Amino acid sequence: MTPFTRRNILKGAIAAAGAAAVAPSFVAPAHAARPSGVALVRNRLTLPSGIATGDVTADSGVLWSRASGPGRLVAGLLAVDDDGSPLRGGRAFRRVLRGTAASEATDFTSKINARDLPAGTRFALTMHFEDPEGHAGETARGSFSTAPGTLSSSRTPRRQSFVWTGDTAGQGWGINEEIGGMRGYAAMHATKPDFFIHSGDTIYADGPIAAQVTEPDGQIWRNLVTEEVSKVAETLDEFRGRHRYNMMDKNIRALYAEVPVIAQWDDHETHNNWYPGQVITDTRYTERRVDVLAARGRQAWQEYQPIAQLSDGTTGFEPARIYRKISRGPQLDVFCLDMRTFKDPNTDGKEAGLTHILGEEQARWLITEVSKSRATWKVISADLPLGIIVPDGPVNQESLSNRDAGAPLGKELEIAGVLSAFKRNRVKNVVWLTADVHYCAAHQYSPERAAFQDFDPFWEFVAGPINAGTFGPSQMDGTFGPEVAFFKAGAYANQSPRNRESQYFGHVDLGEDDVFTVSLRNANGTVLWSKDLHPER
């Protein structure tokens, strides 16, 4: 591996962030048979979707990229200091890793599970593909840092930061290169976070993107358009095309090259407000069985997100599991929920008996894992909010809230059981994060205001959209006693991302004193609201 300097890292990051360059060619080996005087030229493999890392813990991470053709992913890791100089002595670390084969079966995506990494360490990263004959293709450079370890095992400071948001390329607002693309991603990148939680709606498979959209003030929004995003996604390739489209944005590629992602899915990875077993009535579709669409959408989502592989090398998680825990050292555990796969049908939510939004297995997992966590802070990253009323038509509800401020009913009973178990098990310092509703807000839940009182007070923070239309604010359901400490929404429904003041993300800084400083920001990077949460011991 070429030694990494700060200059090389910066140059490489810029190269990875920009559009894929036209790949140079190379001449076949001299021994290859060819007509006299004729040189055979082969186009080397390129990286049309850049590179990414994800689910990075104190000792592991997933490395991801996509090739322009068949090949095998190769990654180089080098431990560096803040200036990009290789670490020396006992902290020196250098490794070359090879990933799974990229083929048509995975849309030429490939992953590497990097394990046994040193904690609290910054890595310079190179990634390229080798073609079937062993020829190396285009190389991209990036970086990432593992989470802090215990004080005894890590020499780095015990602090970290992260950002979160959701809702990318929604309501027909795609990549507008005239205004600089998806600029909210650049604002998040500018905070230099250690990782990024995408809280769902990573794509809008059900939202066609047109070349032009006329905004209410008469301005013309001009989208970059591909064939796959010009209609609703039904085939596997159309779902894949949605992910390929987002990775065409220079701001997304720049962030993903340097900031590990923790990805979740929600409804728009398949279809608005979907639930298992549903048969949609949307006339834009020829395939209306949601289970068929969701299986294709899930495969594409797992291929394109930097998430862990199974031990046998195949892509994705267990066949029916997306929820997981990402350990970020002694300060923080992140629990990613899946509030879609096991969800019961959308109704008015007033059933006397329990209905599911997590499912029995996931609810038990959440209670067990959060209760035994020894991290100071337990962040529960949910793809749907707890207390915000999110309708699905005039009667039914998309979220667990049911417009009834009384005792828990239906899906509320499942969350009530989780909150009660946390109190019973004396769990401290739980924070809920979410997106989904296309505005930002801070909610404090307290039993003193609630119809249901068997839980300890907690905060829920909402952010998004990052590149979609704005909506809200929405009404709150009083069952768990929420108080709206802050909210900020766009000027009108479906306001475009042209106005960066109406696109939102959240930022968290965890200092060495374990104070959890959360701020809600717009796509200009302006802090709109901030709160210091002090840990209970």
Give the CATH number, domain containing residue 399: 3.60.21.70
Q: Are 19 and 134 part of one and the same domain?
A: yes
pLDDT in the model for residue 34? 41
Burial of 473 (0-12, 13-18, 19+ CB in 10 A): middle
pLDDT in the model for residue 39? 42
Q: Are 139 and 205 part of one and the same domain?
A: no
Q: Among the three residues 120, 145, 170, which one is the final residue of a domain in this structure?
A: 145
Query: Which residues does the chain have with pLDDT short of 50?
Result: 1-41, 152-154, 311-317
Q: Are 252 and 125 part of one and the same domain?
A: no
Q: Among the three residues 78, 110, 145, which one is the final residue of a domain in this structure?
A: 145
User: Is residue 154 in a domain?
Assistant: no
User: Is residue 274 in a domain?
Assistant: yes
Number of domains in the chain: 2
Q: Among the three residues 145, 168, 189, which one is the final residue of a domain in this structure?
A: 145
What's 491's DSSP letter?
S
Q: Are 232 and 200 part of one and the same domain?
A: yes
User: Is residue 151 in a domain?
Assistant: no
Burial of 497 (0-12, 13-18, 19+ CB in 10 A): buried
User: Is residue 140 in a domain?
Assistant: yes
Please compute Rg for the chain using Cα positions. 23
Tell me which amino acid residue 261 is: V
Q: Are 271 and 413 part of one and the same domain?
A: yes
pLDDT in the model for residue 100? 84
Cis peptide before 473 (omega within 30 of 0): yes
Distance, in Å, from the CA atom of 211 to the CA atom of 189, rounded to the nearest integer, reads 27
Q: Are 10 and 100 part of one and the same domain?
A: yes
pLDDT in the model for residue 82? 87
User: Does residue 288 contact residue 281 with C-beta atoms inside 8 Å?
Assistant: yes
Q: Are 83 and 217 part of one and the same domain?
A: no
Q: Are 303 and 448 part of one and the same domain?
A: yes
pLDDT in the model for residue 152? 45
Q: Are 129 and 190 part of one and the same domain?
A: no
User: Is residue 267 in a domain?
Assistant: yes
Q: Are 404 and 488 part of one and the same domain?
A: yes
Helix (H) / strand (E) element for 263: namely strand 261-263
User: Does residue 327 contact residue 309 with C-beta atoms inside 8 Å?
Assistant: no
User: Is residue 152 in a domain?
Assistant: no
Per-residue pLDDT tens over the stretch 36-86: 444 444 689 999 999 999 999 999 999 999 999 999 999 999 999 988 899
Q: Are 170 and 236 part of one and the same domain?
A: yes
Tell me, what CATH number does 88's domain have? 2.60.40.10
Per-residue pLDDT tens over the stretch 136-159: 999 999 999 999 987 544 455 578
Q: Are 123 and 164 part of one and the same domain?
A: no
User: Is residue 155 in a domain?
Assistant: no
Range of the domain at 348: 160-533
Residue 501 token pair: 């003041």
Distance, in Å, from the CA atom of 175 to the CA atom of 485, rounded to the nearest integer, reads 33
